[in-house]
Amino acid sequence: MTLQSSLRFVRPCLIGVLLALLNAGCGSRDDLGRVSGTVTLDGEPLEEAFVQFEPTAPGGSTSYGRTDSSGNYTLMFSRSAEGASLGENRVRITTFDLVDGGDRASLPEKVPAKYNQDTELVVTVEPGSNTFDFPLESGGNVIQPRVVQ
**Contact present, 59 and 51 (Cβ < 8 Å):** no
The fold for domain 32-136 equals: Immunoglobulin-like (2.60.40)
Using CA atoms, how far residue 53 sits from 6, 9, 97, 104, 145, in Å, is: 53, 49, 17, 25, 20
Q: Which residue has the higher pLDDT, 68 or 141?
A: 68
Say yes or no to pLDDT of 135 above 90: yes
Least confident range from 5-9, 72-76, 89-93, 132-136: namely 5-9
Residue 142's pLDDT is what? Answer: 73
CA atoms within 13 A on the CB side of 121: 24
DSSP 8-state assignment for residue 67: -
Residue 138's pLDDT is what? Answer: 92
Distance from C-alpha of 115 to C-alpha of 74, rounded to nearest angstrom: 18
pLDDT tens column, 38-71 = 999 999 999 999 999 999 998 889 999 999 999 9
Distance from C-alpha of 62 to C-alpha of 129, rounded to nearest angstrom: 18
**Contact present, 139 and 42 (Cβ < 8 Å):** no
> Domain extents for the chain?
32-136
pLDDT tens column, 73-118 = 999 999 999 999 999 999 999 998 755 454 555 667 899 999 999 9
pTM for the whole structure:
0.72
pLDDT tens column, 16-27 = 433 333 333 444
Residue 60's pLDDT is what? Answer: 83
Distance from C-alpha of 79 to C-alpha of 10, rounded to nearest angstrom: 35
Residue 111's pLDDT is what? Answer: 93
